[in-house]
Structure formats: C-alpha cells, structure tokens
Amino acid sequence: MKKILTLVLASTIGGIFTLGAYKLILEKEEQPLVVDTVAKQPALINTNTTNTGTSRAYETPDFTTAAENTVNAVVHVKNITLSSGQMTFEDLFLGRRPQRAQLGTGSGVIITPDGYIITNNHVVDKSQELSVTLNNNKTYAAEIIGTDPTTDIALLKIEADEDLPVVTFGDSDTAKIGEWVLAVGNPFNLTSTVTAGIISAKARDLSGNPNNIQSFIQTDAAVNPGNSGGALVNTNGELIGINTAISSQTGSYVGYSFAVPSNIAKKVVNDILEYGNVQNGILGVSGIALNSATAEKIDIDDTQGFYVGSVEEDSGAEEAGIKEGDIIKEIDNVKILKFADLKGHLSTKGPGDIVNVMYSRDGSVKTAAVKLIRNVTAVLPTVGQIKNASPKDLKKYKAKSGVKISQLDPKYAEYWAKNGIEKGAIVTAINGTDVSNVDDVQKILKNAASNEPLRIELINKYGEKERYNFR
C-alpha cells in the first residue's frame, strides 16, 4: 500500500513539472502568431469606417424619378394597314382583289407640348389609319409629318386639347457603356411598361455589312414587340435613344435590344421640320474599317481606324488635304474603330457643318477641319451609282445637262462595257424626262409605276447618245 501511494505521488509531481515546462517554453514560442493575427483586424475595420460617397456594387440607382418623368410622355401607337386577303372563285370571276385590315401597335415619344411625337418608321409604315393613345387613356388621330426609312425614324403630330408632357433630349454621344438606362414603351399592348438595364455597346451594326449605315445603342433592358418607337432614357429621365430592334430568333426579348441614338433621331426630326426630308452631310471619302484581316490584305501595320480608299472630287475631304491611304482615327474627339462609329457621328451632322478629323499618314498624326457636303449621290437601277455632274463633266461629253455615273453596277459592268458605257458617262434623261441633278432622278424613280419599264438615255464614251429600256 505504501509503495502504491509513493508511485502516485511521484507521478503527480512529475506531471506538475512537465506542465510548467510547457507553459514556460513551448507556449511562449507560439504566442507571437496569436498577437500577429489580432493586430491585423483593426486595419481591415478602419478602411471601411470612412464613407467616401462612391457607389457600392450592391447599391441600385433610384429609377423612380426618371420613370415618373417618362411614362406620361410615352404613347401607344396603333396602325391600321390593308393587306391582300385570300381570293375566292367569286373574287376571281368579278376581278376583285380582297383586302383585310391589319392592326399593328408600337410606341412613340412626345417631344413637344403641342403634340409632335417621334417613333419608328416601321411602326407607321403603309398605314391607312393612325391613332395615338396617351397614358391618361385619351386617344387622338395622328398625322405623319415625315419619315426616314434609312434611320427608321418617323415624326407624327396630334392635335390635343391641352399641353402635353414631354421627354427632353439628352446627349447620346456622352452616354457610356455600363451606364444604367430605362426602356419605356408598350410591349404586347401592355401600356406604360418600364424595364431597366445597362448600355452594353455603342455604334452597333446588325447588318454584317462593313459599309452599312447602322449605328445603334445596344442595351440589356428588356424590349419586346410593341416597344418599338418607345423611349430609352438615362437615370435623369433624358431621352438618349428610340427603341427600335431586338436580336431574337423567337420574336421576343432574349437578352439584347437596340436603339437609334437620340442625337441621330433629333437631327432627323429637325431636318423633317425644316426641309421636309433628311439632309445628310458627308466627308467625301470611301474605304473600309481596319482589323487584322483587312490590314494584312492592304499590307499595313495599323489595325484600328477607317482606311481611306478614295476621296471624292470637290468634297470637303479633298479640300482639307485628306488623301487615299490615310487612316481616320477620330472625328470631333470620337474614336473611329469601325465604320459604324464614323457613320453614326456623321449622321448627327448636316451639309455645311465643320468636323475636326484626326488621321494618320505614314505614321504621322495630322488634323484637319473638314466642311461636310450634301450627299448628292443615288443608285440608278441596273446602271449603278450616280452623282451630280460638274460643268467640266458635261463639257467632256458635250451635254447640256445630266448626271454622272460615278460607279457602274458590278452585275452589269460587262454589259455596259460592251456598249461603250464607262464610269463618268452622262445620263441625260429617264423615262422621257430630262434630268439635271440627282434630285430629278430620285423624283422620277419615286413617281414611276411599279410595272413601268425603266427607259434611260445616256451619252457613251464616243459622244453618242443611246437609249436603253429595262423591265
């Protein structure tokens, strides 16, 4: 018994010594790790204690004011058109062509208190009857003041019995990618619908044609059928675009929508009101947007900008000294990375406007002030592109008046060459009417019946006057 007690006592004393050694030696060596961890915590806390006033990722802008200022100025547009119905034996026997009414709907934006409304051309195209319903459920007959199919913009007018709420134009050039926007319209006939998103891209072209004129604002705000012609506004409620199209295989919204920039829409409206049509200003250059493939093809190192392939004679670009082979980098401080950037900015300008062009030539950067000229070119079917003829052009072909062929249609170039017709030839008359300028040609073509043959009179390179009939 005494031996057992002695053994227990010895074990206890040994344990006490072991514990004391651990506390004094081992635990003391690990202690700095704990202190170091605690010391880092105040630094992390302190960086978040001061409010800098910047937006946080989890904060969402307040859209209520912008929505309230917009919904009352966005209208519901109804368009009744007539289309061919199914023909019966009785219709065939009596020589009748049955027609049926079709109802189309869209949106529009009131831009003046006295009732001017901007919408899409495709919303009102071929209309037999137009009506506009306001957000207060009042309905008015609408008149088409003017349209521009090229930009898909139309201007309407209603006669209201009171001043109407309006949306003010913003500057679409200053809109930034990533900026919050609201789309306001009437999708699926659901009036006064507001959706939110951000600007996903600018100067977007949907055609796939490198020389197309499209230059849309792309957003991810939900836009569906019926939204066409509605407002795209920023968080201040300012109009920065007219909703126009969606990218979809189903016909409904699947992620992206597109709007005509407000600066283009405003310019179209002003031209319609002042001139009755759109006055386009052009630099007077043609060419191609650069990328790796095109740069390699024309054997240059630069892959960004607009490569000038040719300069139109008597144009502002020629007078400013721009030459073939120059690469346009900026216009009015707007970077030119693709043709849509160039065309989008020029679409906001008119003839006589001055633009500042920055371009590269042989590695040196140059600037020039270019006066835009009126677009005096058009396409004459089967012939090609035509333009106004100068006195020098007319003298060369001994013509009193006419328009000049500036580019032959590639499909018929071989045919024309066999008949002595080349670039520079003068077209003197169309459908029996003498022409002096491009406007004359466009008026004749517009008024021609759809089944009427096209009769063209021109002077070939031998100075001989020839006549051609096309069906």
Instruction: Extract the tokens encoding 34.
Output: 């704990």
The Cα–Cα gap between 268 and 112 comes to 15
Q: Positive or negative CA dihedral for 290, 295, 301, 307?
A: negative
The Cα–Cα gap between 196 and 180 comes to 7
The Cα–Cα gap between 194 and 185 comes to 7
One-letter amino acid at 234 equals N
Residues pairing with 466 in the sheet: 458
Look at residue 202 and give its three-state secondary structure: strand
The Cα–Cα gap between 78 and 107 comes to 8
Question: Which residue in the list 148, 152, 271, 341 is annotated as catalytic?
Answer: 152
Percentages helix, strand, coil for the chain (3-state, rounded to 5) are 25, 35, 40
The label of the residue with tokens 């506390």 reads 23
The Cα–Cα gap between 2 and 429 comes to 139
Look at residue 91 and give its three-state secondary structure: helix
DSSP designation for 174: G
Question: Which residue in the list 107, 172, 228, 257 is annotated as catalytic?
Answer: 228
Confirm whether 76 is a catalytic residue. Answer: no
Max CA-CA distance within the chain? 144
One-letter amino acid at 114 equals D
Confirm whether 292 is a catalytic residue. Answer: no
The Cα–Cα gap between 315 and 312 comes to 6
One-letter amino acid at 332 equals D
How far does Cα 128 stand from its chain's mean position? 28
Instruction: Extract the tokens encoding 406.
Output: 């500036």
Q: Give Cβ neighbours of residue 23 (< 8 Å, ≥ 6 apart).
A: none
Contact yes or no for 97/66 (Cβ under 8 A): no
C-alpha distances in Å from residue 11, one per residue of 16, 22, 74, 267: 9, 17, 92, 100
C-alpha distances in Å from residue 206, one per residue of 212, 260, 416, 431: 9, 12, 34, 36
The Cα–Cα gap between 361 and 305 comes to 12
The Cα–Cα gap between 228 and 232 comes to 11
The Cα–Cα gap between 409 and 384 comes to 4
Q: Could you give the residue numbers annotated as active site?
A: 122, 152, 228
